[in-house]
Amino acid sequence: MEVREVETWTRPTPAGDGAGAPFWAAAAEGRLLIQHCPACGWRQFYPRPICIACGADPDWEEASGRGRLHTFTVVRQNGAEPFRGQLPYVVAMIDLEEGPRMMGNVTGCEVDDVFIGMPMAAYAVKVSDDVGVVFWEPATIGS
C-alpha cells in the first residue's frame, strides 16, 4: 500500500501500543497486517494476542490492501475538530479480500459516489515511524 506523508496530522492519534504495535508500525511502512491463526485458520482484525475463534497464538500476515465496501455513512455533523472542518465525509466498513473487516474513511471521490460493494484500495498515512493510519479510496481498474 502506498504511503503518503501529511504536513500536519490533527486527527486523534492511535497510541500504537499493545498487541497492535506491529500493525501500526507496518502501516507506517506501507504494509497492511492482519492476523492468521495457525491452529484453526481464522483471520482477524483488530490485532490481539489470542485467536478469538480457538484461543491459540495468531501469526501476522500481510493483506493485499484490496477490499469491498460493506456499509458506510456520510457524516454531516460532528462538532469535534478537525472533523468539523472536513464535513461531509465518508466513514465506511471495508471487507478485506482476506476476510476481516475494518473501519476507515473513503477519500478520492465525491461522497455521493460511494456505494455498497464498491471495490476499494488501501493507502497509509504516515503519522510517525511507529504509526501509520490506513485509509481507502476507490480501486482503479487493474490496481
Partner 1 sequence: MSDRTPVIVGVGLSDYPKAPHLDGLGHHAQALQRALADSGLAKGELDGYAGVGMGADQAPTFTEYLGIKHHRYIDGTMTGGSSFEFHIQHAAAAIRQGLCEAVAITYGSNFLSAMGRSLGTGGFLSAGQRVAGTAQYEAPYGNTLVGSYALAARRHMHEFGTTSEQLAAIAVGVREYAGLNPSAMYRDPITVDDVVGSRLIADPLHKLDCCVVSDGGGAIIVTTAERARDLRQPPVYVLGAAGSQTHWNISQMPDFTSTAAASCGPEALAQAGIRPDEIDTLQLYDSFTITVMMLIEGLGLCPKGEGGAFVAEGNLRKGGRVPLNTDGGGLSSCHPGMRGIFLLAEATRQLRGQAGEAQVPDCSIAVACGSGGWLSCIGAVVLGKDHP
The footprint of Zn ion (CB under 5 A) covers 37, 39-40, 42, 51, 53-54, 56
**Min dist. Cβ of residue 33 to Zn ion (A):** 17
Distances (CA, A) of 34 to 92, 107, 120, 122, 123: 18, 22, 17, 13, 15
DSSP β-ladder status, 119-126 and 2-5: parallel
Q: Is 6 in the site for partner 1 (CB under 8 A)?
A: no
**Min dist. Cβ of residue 142 to partner 1 (A):** 27
**Min dist. Cβ of residue 38 to Zn ion (A):** 8
Residues contacting partner 1: total by CB under 8 A: 38
Closest CA to 122 of 33, 60, 44: 33
**Min dist. Cβ of residue 106 to partner 1 (A):** 10
Distances (CA, A) of 96 to 14, 26, 86, 93, 117: 21, 17, 26, 9, 12
Partner touching 73 among Zn ion, partner 1, none, CB below 5 to 8 Å by kind: partner 1
Q: Is 17 in the site for partner 1 (CB under 8 A)?
A: yes
Q: How many other C-beta atoms are found inside a 10 Å radius of the C-beta of residue 69?
A: 21
Q: How far apart are CA 105 and CA 128, in angstroms?
A: 19
Residues contributing to the site for partner 1 (CB under 8 A): 9-18, 20, 45-46, 70-83, 86, 89, 91, 93, 101-105, 116, 133
